Amino acid sequence: MSLAIGVDIGGTKIAGALVREGVVLERARVETPAEDVDAIAEAVVDVLDQLQGAAGDQEVVGAGIACAGFVDREGETILFSPNLAWRDEPLRARLAERTDLPVRLENDANAAAWGEFRHGAGREHRTMTLITVGTGIGGGVVDDGHLLRGSSGIAAEIGHLRVVRDGLRCGCGNRGCWEQYASGSALVREARELVRSGTPMAGRLVEACGGDPERLEGTDVTRLAEEGDPAAEELLHELGVWLGEGAASLAAVLDPGAIVIGGGVSAAGDLLVQPAQRAFRRQLTGRGHRPWPDVLLASLGNDAGVIGAATIMSDRARGR
């Protein structure tokens, strides 16, 4: 059973793991020097060295590097990253100078999708769509056992599907993108608005932030909803409806066997997924004349990216 390394380069931290068959054996973690591309490469090499050291004399078949940005089809270059300094950054070549491991770059949501597909919630399916709900919305699509990369490597940027004409302005510059309505940022925005409205309904939310809506976070909303606060439940319910309806649109195009919901906000569990499932079923085209795709919670949590990135390398090593 082959060992591989997965590294997930996020905006604030670089997380690495030594992985065998979807199981994390060792971890390494450093801060991301976000503004300096040379320093990012150094930090990744540091993580690779630590994990290779942990592997001792066991063979490591390669390192998959999950990156928060647009990665080209070949896994060589990061074309663009919204939160890091990468612009046409040839990170694979830079790393190859410093390590003897085979290295490949992968978009972080694609890596997470591969992790959930091979070892997580989607493992019973051949065709699966992952929706990661965090600050924004990311996604990854597996079709008949293959990761959908598109012509330039940047397929599945599902957070930027337009769902509202002339809607809220998105970080991408457009208006009305799905992630403006169905992400963790949308949840926080709605919760803060509810507090500002002065409605007595928001009493517990006001308490949670000491009266200052700017201090309210998504985790506060989830916690209060878990404690049964109707306003917090309603906020998660609304978010779930946006998610479910968007997922139905994706299903119209992709016909997945499973839609897997991951990312930080999925920690809300059934409070989010049940309303999403109901909205999905109300909106799915051809309902009644097609199998129902499963709408499932992701099961690998924050490890989906490192497990997926490592598994891409071990699958390649065995010719999959």
Binding site for Zn ion (CB under 5 A): 160, 170, 172, 174, 177
- Residue closer to Zn ion (CB basis): 47 or 187: 187
* Nearest-approach distance from CB 221 to Zn ion, in angstroms: 23
* Nearest-approach distance from CB 176 to Zn ion, in angstroms: 8
Alpha helix locations (H) across the chain? Answer: 37-55, 91-96, 108-119, 179-182, 184-196, 203-208, 218-226, 230-254, 270-283, 304-317
- Residue closer to Zn ion (CB basis): 158 or 271: 158
* Nearest-approach distance from CB 284 to Zn ion, in angstroms: 24
- Residue closer to Zn ion (CB basis): 185 or 266: 185
- Residue closer to Zn ion (CB basis): 157 or 233: 157
Q: How far from chain centre, in Å, is Cα 235?
A: 21
Structural tokens at position 52 = 């290779």
C-alpha 56/C-alpha 200 separation (Å) is 60
* Nearest-approach distance from CB 82 to Zn ion, in angstroms: 10
Query: Cβ–Cβ contacts within 10 Å for residue 163, how many?
Result: 17
- Residue closer to Zn ion (CB basis): 172 or 317: 172
* Nearest-approach distance from CB 163 to Zn ion, in angstroms: 10
Nearest to 269 by CA among 223, 303, 302: 223
Find the largest Cα–Cα distance for the chain.
63
Q: Report the relative pairing of strands 128-133 and 258-262 from DSSP bridges.
A: parallel
Structural tokens at position 60 = 């490591």
* Nearest-approach distance from CB 259 to Zn ion, in angstroms: 20
Instruction: Please count the CA atoms within 13 angstroms of the CA of 279 that sit on its side-chain side.
Output: 20
- Residue closer to Zn ion (CB basis): 155 or 170: 170
| AA letter at 141 | V
Phi first, then psi, for residue 81 (nearest 5°) are -135, 130
Please give the DSSP secondary-structure letter assigned to residue 169: B
Whether the CB-CB separation of 127 and 317 falls below 8 Å is answered with no
* Nearest-approach distance from CB 81 to Zn ion, in angstroms: 15
Roughly how many angstroms between the first and final C-alpha of the chain, as a whole number? 14
- Residue closer to Zn ion (CB basis): 138 or 308: 138
Q: What percent of the residues of the chain are helix, what percent strand, and what percent coil, each to the nearest 5? A: 45, 25, 35
* Residue whose tokens read 């990311």: 138
- Residue closer to Zn ion (CB basis): 86 or 178: 178
* Nearest-approach distance from CB 177 to Zn ion, in angstroms: 3
* Nearest-approach distance from CB 159 to Zn ion, in angstroms: 6
Structural tokens at position 299 = 């099961």
- Residue closer to Zn ion (CB basis): 110 or 180: 180
Structural tokens at position 16 = 């690495």
